[in-house]
Structure 1
Amino acid sequence: SSSSSLLLASCLMLPAFALSIVSTKISLSAATATTADKVLSNHATILADNSANLAISLYQNMAKEKGAENILISPVVVASSLGLVALGGKGSTASQVKTILNAAKVQDEQLHSGLAELLTEVSDPKERNVTWKISNRLYGPSSVTFAEDFVKSSKKHYKCDHSKINFRDKKSAVNSINEWAAKSTGGKLPEVTKDVENTDGAMIINAMFFKPHWDEQFHPTMVDNRGFLVSRSYTVALQMMHRTGGFLCVIVHFINPYKMFAAFSAQTGKKKKSNGNALTPSSGPSYTHLYPNLLIRTVNVDRGVNVVMTS
């Protein structure tokens, strides 16, 4: 196969939400591929970096709890869901969201417009060689009426739909939510939840479909069995595509016990075509061991150096 897809679903229960975050200060803006003809606003850039930091902190906490399970987190989805909470809650709730996003100095309107800018940028097929679709829906109790200004603003900034549902009829509620998710993803995500735990509050549902398109296609015959590290003690043999060539890449060692590997495709002129990121366990085999002909220099991303030449 020359492409792959990622399905991600998440649920956020309201109004009671509390996140225990481990402080991890990093900067990912230098490792993000940007185009010469489009630059994010200052507050959107701040929110992009802070959203990435939040996602990594969440990942670290979830990894401790879930052990060897696979964990998928979309920083933009998490941040935009929190933004929606701030938009509806305002006051102390909005302040809590800003604290979580490390954006206490960002004005309310800048918070929502900045997150809207991120959602638009990552889903623009003209800017990125991917298909990235996200659907958001806020489910509220059948006894609640959504404020008109909230409905208008949430659609404007977060493209969020709204629906009333009888949470006390759990079977009907679950079926309704899953039917919406399946329809939103063209049938690729038939189930996002198996139960509705909270019957008093509201629920934000995200359904995301992500499909990257290779700038340089893999040849169908370049497939063999290689070891895939599931956990530190468990490796399985899987069929993997591979390609030999010269590419721009960087390995950043700043997440303990994980390291981030960011690989950039070859440049065309002054414009990078795409970038890829993956978290890998630091205890696994090194890339220099797997690819002895690969010359990799470690760089300091915080200082703005984000690409090294490999051979």
Structure 2
Amino acid sequence: MEQLSTANTHFALDLFRTLNEDNPTGNIFFSPFSISSALAMVFLGTRGNTAVQLSKTFHFDEVKDVHSRFQSLNADINKRGASYILKLANRLYGEKTYHILPEFLASTQKMYGADLASVDFQHAFEEARKEINKWVKSQTEGKIPELLASGVVDNTTKLVLVNAIYFKGDWKEKFMKEATTNAPFRLNKKDTKTVKMMHQKARFPYGYIQELKCRVLELPYQDNELSMIILLPDNIEDDSTGLRKNVCILMKRIINIDRINGMII
């Protein structure tokens, strides 16, 4: 699984760099694994130059048997009995009059657990949009009630590939509710905002990157299978969040730490 993890990490950093350039002072929230696994299904049905471009973008050329590795990882992520809930669900919605190769459908079902739902985009695209949103809402425990806004699909839509990811976990070291207090949170060099700040005293994996003047804290979830990584710069030198400079170098350093080496979900 190491090859797929490395490829996903490279894609995550590439995408983060692009998003950060477009929105250097705002919040950025995305799931690189959700995106790469969804587009891997598209990659499964491509050939020629399209396949080459997708392979390069997602670094699939670095992975042997990429679809088999996604199959194994998806099974591991959706395993029963885990101390956390990490659900990755895929589905295809195809125009009922549009012919899709049976071989492609069989492969997406086998490798990604994605079945095909036939809908009438041609005559009832709004009903199809609502059906898609209803499925996504159910897969994300109501957290994403409307994935597709009105106007996203129309009567020319032939195929919609939907990927939904949902996570819920408990901290290994729980935060006590009564220890939560109001505290200032720095948005940039000039502005702060009062937020609810959780507190606790415990031992956690902690590091410091001297050349970037940044502290790194790992907060593990139960059973130590998953963790949240928090980065805190010593100072904010410009109008950004303080992590804008060399942020991808910083991320690569973190990923190379043995304790944190793994998949970015």
Give the TM-score of the pair, scaled to structure 2: 0.75
Asked whether 1:76 is paired with 2:33, we answer yes
Could you tell me which amino acid in structure 2 is paired with residue 121 of structure 1? D
Distance in 1 (CA, whole Å) between partners of 2:36 and 2:134 is: 25
1:20-44 CA-to-partner distances (Å, cap 9, x unmatched) read: xxxxxxxxxxxxxxxxxxxxxxxx3
Asked whether 1:206 is paired with 2:163, we answer yes
Asked whether 1:96 is paired with 2:56, we answer no
Asked whether 1:58 is paired with 2:21, we answer no
Could you tell me which amino acid in structure 2 is paired with residue 83 of structure 1? A
- 2:96 paired residue number: 142
Matches within 5 A, 1:162-311: 162-168=116-122, 169-195=124-150, 196-197=152-153, 199-230=156-187, 233-251=190-208, 261-263=216-218, 265=220, 272=224, 274-278=226-230, 284=236, 301=253, 305-307=257-259
Could you tell me which amino acid in structure 1 is paired with residue 15 of structure 2? L
Distance in 2 (CA, whole Å) between partners of 1:216 and 1:93 is: 47
Could you tell me which amino acid in structure 2 is paired with residue 275 of structure 1? S
Task: For residue 74 of structure 1, report the CA deviation from its aligned partner.
Answer: 1.4
Asked whether 1:119 is paired with 2:74, we answer yes
Distance 1:242 1:206, change over 3 A: same
Distance 1:234 1:201, change over 3 A: farther
Per the alignment, in what secondary structure is the counterpart of residue 139 of structure 1? strand
Contact 2:77–2:88, Cα closer than 8 Å, also in 1: no
Distance 1:273 1:157, change over 3 A: closer
Per the alignment, in what secondary structure is the counterpart of residue 28 of structure 2? coil
Query: Gapped runs of 5+ residues in structure 1?
Result: 1-43, 286-297
- 2:87 paired residue number: 133
1:153 to 107, 131, 137: 107
Distance in 2 (CA, whole Å) between partners of 1:283 and 1:184 is: 40
Could you tell me which amino acid in structure 2 is paired with residue 159 of structure 1? G
Contact 1:263–1:275, Cα closer than 8 Å, also in 2: yes
Distance in 2 (CA, whole Å) between partners of 1:302 and 1:239 is: 27
Distance 1:171 1:305, change over 3 A: closer
Per the alignment, in what secondary structure is the counterpart of residue 178 of structure 2? coil
Contact 1:249–1:265, Cα closer than 8 Å, also in 2: no
Distance 1:251 1:160, change over 3 A: farther
More helix by share: 2
Could you tell me which amino acid in structure 1 is paired with residue 181 of structure 2? D
Distance 1:211 1:149, change over 3 A: same
Contact 2:8–2:58, Cα closer than 8 Å, also in 1: yes
Task: For residue 85 of structure 1, report the CA deviation from its aligned partner.
Answer: 0.6
Could you tell me which amino acid in structure 1 is paired with residue 31 of structure 2? S
Distance in 2 (CA, whole Å) between partners of 1:118 and 1:235 is: 41
Contact 2:90–2:113, Cα closer than 8 Å, also in 1: yes
1:201-252 CA-to-partner distances (Å, cap 9, x unmatched) read: 5221122211121112112211111233445554321112111122222355
Could you tell me which amino acid in structure 1 is paired with residue 179 of structure 2? M
Could you tell me which amino acid in structure 2 is paired with residue 97 of structure 1? L
Contact 1:178–1:193, Cα closer than 8 Å, also in 2: yes
Distance 1:51 1:302, change over 3 A: same
Task: For residue 105 of structure 1, report the CA deviation from its aligned partner.
Answer: 5.1
Distance 1:273 1:74, change over 3 A: closer
- 1:11 paired residue number: none
Per the alignment, in what secondary structure is the counterpart of residue 138 of structure 1? strand
Contact 1:132–1:209, Cα closer than 8 Å, also in 2: yes
Contact 1:139–1:204, Cα closer than 8 Å, also in 2: yes
Task: For residue 301 of structure 1, report the CA deviation from its aligned partner.
Answer: 4.5
